Chains A and B, each alone.
Chain A
Amino acid sequence: MNNLISFQSQNESLQQATETLYVAYQQSPGIEKNSLANTETSEAPNGEWIRDYFGNDYSIAIPILQLFIEEMLPEIEQLATVLNKYGVQELRKKVHKINPSFKMVGQTALSSALTDLENDCITFEEIDDLHFKIKKIQTQTEKLKPFIIKQYNSLSKLAH
């Protein structure tokens, strides 16, 4: 019986977390919701990614989001520097390393863009193409940054 109650309450919490994420998303400035809905449907904060990666315990997503904000977002800013300073192979390694984290926090469109960039590093032809893609990823990340921070804040509030 206790297990059942705990399960129900977990599900309610998850639903609450999902709703909170949705509200946070709707209220987040700087994101063109329609364009996201069309081209980045997987970014829609329906909370499914929480269930996929963290099960019913959404609280696990909190330290992951925190690490993501503190460590992964700055990595995106460094991509052009890595390319200029260490070359294409190091850029590929860096992109390969950070890519799964983007999917893990629900940013699948950015993750796909990073996969494209990684593949371009393998079939490397023009350095300008790489810089162009990096710039595009950086712009997209900048747009989504407030939303990701809001996600983190909303989940943190909910946990307390």
Chain B
Amino acid sequence: MSISCIIVEDDKISALHLRRMIEQEPSLTLAGIFMNADDALLFLAQEMVDLIFLDVEMPDVNGFQLLDQLPYRPYVILTTAKTEYAFTAFQYSVTDYLTKPITLPRFKEAIKKIEPFIAKQKDNNANDIFIRADGKLIRLHNNEICFVEALGDYVKFVTENKNYLSLTTLKSIEEKLNDEMFLKVHRSYIINTKKINDIEDNTVLIGKHVIPISKAHRKLVMDRLNII
């Protein structure tokens, strides 16, 4: 299991020390080091991480204010020189609280503690994908998606309630979707086979949407579906 993490820390020595400890931990992958909360927020609006090592006392925006502004909630290990933030940390449901300077045994203990939580979450999220749309990261469960359509440089995710446009390619989405549930029926369409209402000639009906099946994909579609 690989746990992606970032460091948000305004002190260079503490950041370097954490970086070295993270690099020694095989389960951790460091995705970035940020010396202030604003830069970290910009990054987190675009990228998903599993874990944040977060300093509390930083200029301008402090660690708790950063948590208030996060578009999603990864696991958080607070790193601080003081214990007086423990109550607030509890209110923010942070996973652990490391007092600086962090000793190696205490760091390892925190990672050991967090690993099962993240493993469980990754397992639960296996059927979820995050897409960038409407200026944020949106979590879509595979079950929600009716079909996906390529539209130029964008991909449209059609769900029963809402459509989302995301700047990406159908190929990269195809790799992320559950391949037992989804099927490419046309170079511009991937459908959720659980959502099919009926198939007629060279088209599939999903809700009120009629989706073409290309000649190239027809045999594959027929082989995949349970046709008596």
Q: Which residues of A contact B (CB under 8 A)?
A: 51-55, 57, 60, 63-64, 67-68, 71-72, 93, 96-101, 103-104
Distance in angstroms between the alpha carbons of A51 and B105 in the assembled complex: 10
Asked if B24 and A101 make an inter-chain contact with CB atoms under 8 angstroms apart, the answer reads no
Cβ < 8 Å to A, chain B residues 49-80: 57, 59
* Residues of chain A lying within 8 A (CB to CB) of residue B20: 54, 60, 64
B103 part of interface (Cβ distance < 8 Å): yes
Distance (whole angstroms) from the CB of A41 to the closest CB of chain B:
18
B38 part of interface (Cβ distance < 8 Å): no
Distance (whole angstroms) from the CB of B105 to the closest CB of chain A:
8
Given A93-B57, A96-B81, A53:B104 Cβ within 8 A: yes
Asked if B82 and A97 make an inter-chain contact with CB atoms under 8 angstroms apart, the answer reads no
Given A53-B17, A57-B24, A63-B16, A100:B104 Cβ within 8 A: no
Asked if A100 and B16 make an inter-chain contact with CB atoms under 8 angstroms apart, the answer reads no
The residue in chain A whose Cβ has the minimal distance to the Cβ of B55 is A97
The residue in chain B whose Cβ has the minimal distance to the Cβ of A52 is B103
Q: Which residues of B contact A (CB under 8 A)?
A: 10-14, 16-17, 20, 24, 57, 59, 81-82, 100-105
Contact of B100 among A52, A63, A72, A100 (CB under 8 A): A100
Given A54-B20, A93-B57, A100-B81, A67:B13 Cβ within 8 A: yes
Most buried by B among A60, A93, A96, A100: A100
* Residues of chain A lying within 8 A (CB to CB) of residue B82: 96
* Residues of chain A lying within 8 A (CB to CB) of residue B101: 53, 100-101, 103-104
Given A96-B81, A96-B82, A52:B104 Cβ within 8 A: yes
Distance in angstroms between the alpha carbons of A54 and B20 in the assembled complex: 8
Contact of A64 among B17, B59, B100, B102 (CB under 8 A): B17
* Residues of chain A lying within 8 A (CB to CB) of residue B103: 52-53
Distance (whole angstroms) from the CB of A77 to the closest CB of chain B:
17
User: Given A53-B101, A96-B57, A101-B14, 13 more contacts at CB 8 Å?
Assistant: A52-B103, A52-B104, A53-B17, A53-B104, A54-B20, A55-B24, A67-B12, A71-B13, A93-B57, A100-B11, A101-B11, A101-B13, A104-B17
